[in-house]
Chain A
Amino acid sequence: MNSRTAQKPKVGIFGLTGCAGDQLALLNAEPELIALAGRVDVVVFDMAISRKEEWQGMLDLALVEGSVCSQRDREELEKIRKQSRSLMAIGSCAVWGGLPAMTAHIPVKQLNKQVYDDGEVFPKAMGAEPLSSFVTVDFSIPGCPIEIGELLEALAAILAGGEPQRIDFPVCAECRMAEQICLVQSQNRVCCGPVTVGGCKARCISYGRPCDGCRGPVDDPCYDATREMFFRHGLAKADVVDALRRFSTPAWVERNLAADFAGDPQRRGHHRSQTKESGT
């Protein structure tokens, strides 16, 4: 985005299928939102502003939350991509597919049968997919919901013409900084902290419960050490994989964890520049 243009950058905030929690998190941060509104021109905000007519022209930045769960979502996303210079996925649904992607390995017909008692009622339904399955994603802010400070820092960097800093440490790093007691080591509980990207200040562990992995996988989890630690505490690989499957794309889990915790994380859902560097 060119910060030197005389006009304020045009920003759109969109929601595909999801709980709207990331837009709500933004709406809950009123002072920051008002400050932001002074720097950018919020053209679309699905949750907060009536869309009087379809917006015209290009957006400088589109923030998109939710996963792609229908053909309609896909068309909307492709339209947003076409009309935006940069696109940022906000929230774990947009970045990784999120919780709804947990059923990605079950045929849609079977899901329809289970939920609607009719396999044919919504034949066009599809499993949840992250944005990056369909369009190029320039920036990603994971979290369920997002941490508002992380989003604002990223926006500040982009408005200044730079790239947001990418968090490359796991939840465990912040957990140790806060001097919290490790739930794997002290209570033999499955905790997704070692393989989940940090940024939440290990909130759940501070309330005495293990990390659910809601922020999705960290770039470079130390699988061998992690596996060793889980095994030492009598935790089966299946339990760890099962816990991680909740919030991260099942394909990622299968590839990286089910195959005996081997291999590098796929860089899907992260910055375009990163994707190019990694050659995928």
Chain B
Amino acid sequence: MTTITINHLSRVEGHGGIHVTVGPDGVERCEMEIFEGSRFYEALLLGRHFEEVPGTISRVCAICSSGHTLCALGAIEDALDITVTPQVQSFRDLLNLGQFIESHALHLFCLAVPDYLGYSGVLEMAQYQPDVVGKALELKRIGNAIQELIGGRAIHPVNMTIGGMGRIPTAESLTALAGQLAEGLESALALERFIIELPIPDCHLDQAVYVALQPDGSNYALHGGMLAASGHDPIPVANFRQRVHESVVSHSTAKQSLYSDKPFMVGAVARMVLNGERMSGVAAQTRNRIIPDRPTPMHNNPAQFVELVWALSEGEKLAHDLSLATPESPVNTQVKAKKSAGQQALEVPRGTLYHAYGLNADGLLCDADIITPTAQNLANIEKDFATTASCWLHHAQNDEARLKHGLEMVARAYDPCISCATHLVDLTMRKESS
């Protein structure tokens, strides 16, 4: 029996590794071990006041902090029957777009691309490809600028409140932002050829069961009342937990999820498969040039690039529209607590994020459930590890470096949260007689 271990797949939700066990009859076990220390976020919310939830739960993850904040706000507002004004909703949409731009630019160019091209990191890549890195960092800065302007801070935003927001940005700052986004779109489009030429490794993966929210209107969007899945009829988001089942596995402090008892994938490629046809303009053109007819999880990084283009063009329109709107006075709704339950699903850079909360009559939390995209993808990642390892057995037996690289590229494709896939190290191979 052979056990292949990647000990420190550095930072998957912080800290994780890969274990592959090969026996006489082939691949026996593939596990993505997550040994990030447990922080018990769901437990530490219990008994706390609902107003604290968004600011507490954003701390689950820095790079997804806007997504967690927005999802928590939506779930609490759902529980308390609060509807925000269209203007506040537009600001929230813009904040989410800022997060998409920042997260996709960071993952794609600073974390993933150096791997494709064999650099140790973005600093080394900057010496050889200064133009690409320069443009990528410009995009990342624009994503951060949106989050700073709308959210009040690039990491762990402070400007969104239950029922409204604290400070409405000035028309001048929004006009300037729209200008930055227009320039960013030019830069992104100039990177398209670079992305098309990236060597996508062939790991012989199948198409996954893709899951994403179905936008309510006819356009590509990041929220919607129905959850779509390839090969299944869409279900209302209210039934999310009846369809997506979480389970605990002893090798991972992150839970795993199944959709109708099958591993599934959420994220950019899932949205592209299920909703990509809804894109229009430059984003649609980029999509047509980059995304193949039957994309596999390995196409998640190119799909992130398409979304980057989409988010820049969508963000420019939104910032421009908001700069022309009459600013509402800051909304700080007096919210009355009641015994209730609420939920929200939202597309965030890595996939569908789901929050559900229960409140007691005093507004204190008695139930909290958070299902992150990375946790939903874990079972499918393990399935794809197994496919990669079986392929390796047939085609390149004993070339451990190739297997290690293949497994790392699979993990990388899923973009398992930045506290996540940055660098994968220490492949140790232990040979034992079985």
Taking Cβ atoms with an 8 Å cutoff, the residues of A that contact B are 15-22, 24-25, 27-28, 30, 37, 42, 45-53, 66-70, 72-73, 98-100, 102-103, 106, 110-112, 114-118, 121-122, 125-126, 128, 144-145, 203-204, 206-209, 212, 214, 246
Contacts and interface: CB of A to CB of B under 8 A. Distances in A.
B186 to A, nearest CB: 20
Main secondary structure of the interface of B (DSSP, over half): loop
B111 to A, nearest CB: 8
Interface stretch (B158-166, B293-301, B340-348, B355-363): B158-166
Given A103-B43, A207-B167, A208-B332, 4 more contacts: A47-B418, A51-B423, A52-B120, A100-B39
Q: Which 8 pairs between the two chains have the least Cβ-Cβ distance?
A: A69-B37, A21-B62, A50-B423, A17-B37, A207-B166, A70-B37, A49-B121, A20-B419
Given A52-B425, A73-B37, A111-B43, A207 B156 contact: no
Given A19-B62, A115-B40, A48 B154 contact: no
Contact of B152 (A20, A128, A203): A203
Query: What size tier do the contact residues of chain B reach?
Result: 35 or more
A171 B304 CA distance: 40
7 contacts: A28-B140, A47-B418, A48-B110, A50-B121, A67-B37, A69-B37, A121-B248
Contacts, number: 165
B46 interface: yes
Given A100-B44, A208-B167, A212-B55, A17 B156 contact: no
A117 to B, nearest CB: 7
Nearest to A66: B14
Interface string B23-42: 00000000000011111111
Contacts of A100: 39-41, 44
A21 B39 CA distance: 15
With most chain B CB atoms within 10 A of its CB, the pick from A42, A103, A115 is A115
Contacts of B61: 19-20
A128 B39 contact: yes
B434 interface: no
Given A73-B37, A100-B40, A204-B158, A145 B137 contact: no
A99 B39 CA distance: 9
B123 A48 contact: yes
B15 A72 contact: yes
Contacts of B36: 17, 69
A111 B40 contact: yes
Contact of B422 (A48, A53, A121): A48
A18 B153 CA distance: 18
Nearest to B159: A207
Interface string B310-348: 000000000000000000001010000000000000000
Nearest to B144: A28
A25 B248 contact: no
A18 B418 CA distance: 12
Contacts of A16: 37
B422 A47 contact: yes
A42 to B, nearest CB: 8
B14 A115 contact: no
Given A145-B62, A208-B166, A208-B167, A20 B11 contact: yes
A144 B121 CA distance: 26
Given A30-B137, A51-B423, A208-B330, A246 B156 contact: no
Nearest to B60: A19
A69 B39 contact: yes
Contacts of B187: none
Contacts of B156: 21, 144-145, 214
A203 B144 contact: no
A1 to B, nearest CB: 22
Contact of A69 (B38, B46, B166, B248): B38
Contacts of A207: 152, 158-159, 166-167
Interface in B382-424: 418-419, 422-424
B99 interface: no
A191 to B, nearest CB: 13
